[in-house]
């Protein structure tokens, strides 16, 4: 017996309890229940798909909201399987991973050696306990001929604002993967007096556990609460995800080492580190994104056959502080600051190099905050108003990125954060110049409550922004159907999230032809 297997046997023996002989431990593992409650209550997930595999994830938590998820403070072995069929008749990969207390007993298995462009099923077991089965699809080999790709886009899921009904529908869409643009959790304390965007009280749906999040235990408990939602679990189990964070995984509108309260940077850095650790623990990331002293490596790239080059961007860690003291503000000199950053110099250079390679028919920039410099006036305000937490507050970085897209004729930007659907053309010179790309902004899963077909003031927004082609204020997600000469995005919406079982519909379909950055809306 090796030192590693000896240690594993001791760990298992300690978990089941009792003074049993070392050689008897595996038999007791098979014969006895290890937990007093089901340990896979947070479901399963897959992420970071590649042409030869993906990451599979779970977390052992028999008491998800209790201390340490109800787990003992020691490592636990978790067995995993990947099969080419839903019944697991043909297991193509299997192994054992260690769920460590330092990582909340979460496991991240990087599965490799699979065939490209096909579905697989996966599951986990501990003793006699077995997880549900998840499904994930490998990507086509980079550069391989591909006629069509369908994928989902979703995010912004405030637990208190509504039910995650849209995720149940997304699980039925048969997408190759899902891009999640952030705000997976919300950090606020319970707010039973909920206010709508119209300033009026609206129906309160369900409450957060705990207060405002600051330490690691706080963040872990909040993720556990969200992940117990069955609709979210269904969406995770249906397809692999590419996930990125926005602000609420840490704190509203944070950037770099700056928070809204202007706390000392070294103090906020402690909170951010706790938030990053909990985020990694609860999402299906590769080891390359493991959080460290310098944050998390979040910008990355996936080339899907010869059809889509997916550039996943990070608009939080390297951004300079918002101008004009943040918020929705009229013009201030900070808009024009040539030294301002959104991506940071290194990420900008990385994106420039990737775009110049022209590796696929379409370039998709998957990021978090709106690029269109939207004038937010909804009444008789005398001067343009912009959202300082969007690219609208950063003219110089926006123009630099748009310059990189000029001439490509194939750039599509995928965005979240706004809690509304938008579709528009990305034009240089603050929205008055040439169109170089299109932007699809996905609404929220639940943030903002039920919403409406049109938010108050929408007519003024549309009239004041000629590059904006469509907007809608319902909850839901996007489904993107990409072909050789055409990209089509369907805005899938539900009419309510305050009560269960809302139906899904396509509120609009936006189409862009390859080589022509202009939108048609149906």
Asked if residue 162 and residue 91 are part of one domain, the reply reads no
In this prediction, residue 209 carries a pLDDT of: 93
Asked if residue 87 and residue 54 are part of one domain, the reply reads yes
| In a domain? residue 144 | no
Q: What is the pLDDT of residues 347-402, one digit of tens each?
A: 999 999 999 999 999 999 999 999 999 999 998 899 999 999 999 999 999 999 99
Give ∠ CA 290-295-297 in degrees, rounded to 5. Answer: 55
Q: What is the pLDDT of residues 98-118, one digit of tens each?
A: 999 999 999 999 999 999 999
Tokens of 279: 């985020």
Q: Is the pLDDT of residue 138 over 50?
A: yes
Can you give the pTM of this predicted structure? 0.93
**In what helix (H) or strand (E) does residue 345 lie, and over which residues does it extend?**
helix 345-356
Asked if residue 255 and residue 284 are part of one domain, the reply reads yes
State the CATH number of the domain containing residue 47. Answer: 2.60.40.380
In this prediction, residue 432 carries a pLDDT of: 96
Cα-atom radius of gyration of the chain, to the nearest Å?
23
Q: What is the pLDDT of residues 140-158, one digit of tens each?
A: 999 999 999 999 999 999 9
In this prediction, residue 23 carries a pLDDT of: 33
In this prediction, residue 239 carries a pLDDT of: 98
Average pLDDT, the chain: 92
Q: What is the pLDDT of residues 63-90, one digit of tens each?
A: 999 999 999 999 999 999 999 999 999 9
Asked if residue 39 and residue 25 are part of one domain, the reply reads no
Domains of the chain: total: 3
Asked if residue 16 and residue 40 are part of one domain, the reply reads no
Q: How far apart are the first and last CA of the chain?
A: 66
Q: What is the pLDDT of residues 1-15, one digit of tens each?
A: 333 333 333 333 334
Asked if residue 102 and residue 76 are part of one domain, the reply reads yes
Q: What is the DSSP string of 259-300?
A: -TT---HHHHHHHHHHHHHHHHHHS---GGG--BTTB----E
Q: At 203, is the pLDDT very low, low, confident or very high (cuts 50, 70, 90)?
A: confident
In this prediction, residue 27 carries a pLDDT of: 30
Region 223-229: mean pLDDT is: 98
Q: At 198, is the pLDDT very low, low, confident or very high (cuts 50, 70, 90)?
A: confident
| In a domain? residue 289 | yes
- Residues spanned by the domain of 272: 149-521
Asked if residue 256 and residue 303 are part of one domain, the reply reads yes
CB 234 within 8 A of CB 492: no
Among 137-146, 456-465, 466-475, 491-500, the least confident range:
456-465
Q: Is the pLDDT of residue 220 over 70?
A: yes
Q: What is the DSSP string of 349-367?
A: HHHHHHHHT--SSEEEEE-
Q: At 33, is the pLDDT very low, low, confident or very high (cuts 50, 70, 90)?
A: low
- Write b or e for each residue in 481-494: b if 16 or more Cβ atoms lie within 10 A of its Cβ, otherwise e: bbbeeebbbbbbbb
Share of the chain above pLDDT 90, in %: 87
In this prediction, residue 22 carries a pLDDT of: 29
Asked if residue 156 and residue 83 are part of one domain, the reply reads no
Asked if residue 482 and residue 412 are part of one domain, the reply reads yes
Asked if residue 123 and residue 6 are part of one domain, the reply reads no
Region 414-432: mean pLDDT is: 97
């Amino acid at each position: 017996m090796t030192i590693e297997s000896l240690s594993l046997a001791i760990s298992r023996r300690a978990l089941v309890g009792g003074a049993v002989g070392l050689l008897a431990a595996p038999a007791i593992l098979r014969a006895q229940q290890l937990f007093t409650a089901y340990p896979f209550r947070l479901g399963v997930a897959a992420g970071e798909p590649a042409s030869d595999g993906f990451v599979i994830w779970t977390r052992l938590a028999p008491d998800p909201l209790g201390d340490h998820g109800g787990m003992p403070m020691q490592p636990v072995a978790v067995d995993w399987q990947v099969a080419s069929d839903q019944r697991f008749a043909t297991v193509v990969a299997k192994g054992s991973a260690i769920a460590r207390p330092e990582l909340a007993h979460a496991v991240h298995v990087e599965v490799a050696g699979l065939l490209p462009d096909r579905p697989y099923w996966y599951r986990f077991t501990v003793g006699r306990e077995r997880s549900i089965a998840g499904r994930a699809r490998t990507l086509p080999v980079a550069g391989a001929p591909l006629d069509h790709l369908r994928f989902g886009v979703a995010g912004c899921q405030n637990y208190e604002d509504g039910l995650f009904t849209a995720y149940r529908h997304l699980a039925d869409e048969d997408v190759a993967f899902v891009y999640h643009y952030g705000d997976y959790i919300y950090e606020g304390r319970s707010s039973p007096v909920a206010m709508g965007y119209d300033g009026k009280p609206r129906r309160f749906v369900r409450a957060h556990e705990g207060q405002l999040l600051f330490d690691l235990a706080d963040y872990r408990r909040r993720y556990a609460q969200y992940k117990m939602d069955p609709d979210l679990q269904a969406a995770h189990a249906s397809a692999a995800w590419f996930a990125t964070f926005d602000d609420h995984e840490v704190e509203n509108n944070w950037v770099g080492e700056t928070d809204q309260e202007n706390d000392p940077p070294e103090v906020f850095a402690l909170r951010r580190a706790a938030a990053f650790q909990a985020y990694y623990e609860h999402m299906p990331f590769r080891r390359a994104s493991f959080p460290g002293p310098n944050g998390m490596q979040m910008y990355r790239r996936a080339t899907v056959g010869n059809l889509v080059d997916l550039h996943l961007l990070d608009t939080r860690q390297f951004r300079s502080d918002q101008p004009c003291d943040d918020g929705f503000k009229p013009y201030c000199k900070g808009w024009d600051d040539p030294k301002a950053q959104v991506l940071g110099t290194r990420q900008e250079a990385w994106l420039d190099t990737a775009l110049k390679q022209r590796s696929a028919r379409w370039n998709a920039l998957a990021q978090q905050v709106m690029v269109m410099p939207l004038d937010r006036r909804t009444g008789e305000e005398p001067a343009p108003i912009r959202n300082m937490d969007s690219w609208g507050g950063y003219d110089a970085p926006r123009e630099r990125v748009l310059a990189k897209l000029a001439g490509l004729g194939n750039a599509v930007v995928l965005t979240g954060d706004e809690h509304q659907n938008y579709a528009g053309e990305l034009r240089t010179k603050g929205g008055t110049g040439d169109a170089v790309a299109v932007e699809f902004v996905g609404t929220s899963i639940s943030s903002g409550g039920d919403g409406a077909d049109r938010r108050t003031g929408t007519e003024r927004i549309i009239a004041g922004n000629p590059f904006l082609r469509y907007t809608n204020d319902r909850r839901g997600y996007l489904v993107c159907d990409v072909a050789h000469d055409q990209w089509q995005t369907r805005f899938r919406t539900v009419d309510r999230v305050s009560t269960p079982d809302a139906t899904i519909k396509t509120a609009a379909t936006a189409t862009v032809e390859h080589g022509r950055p202009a939108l048609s809306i149906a």
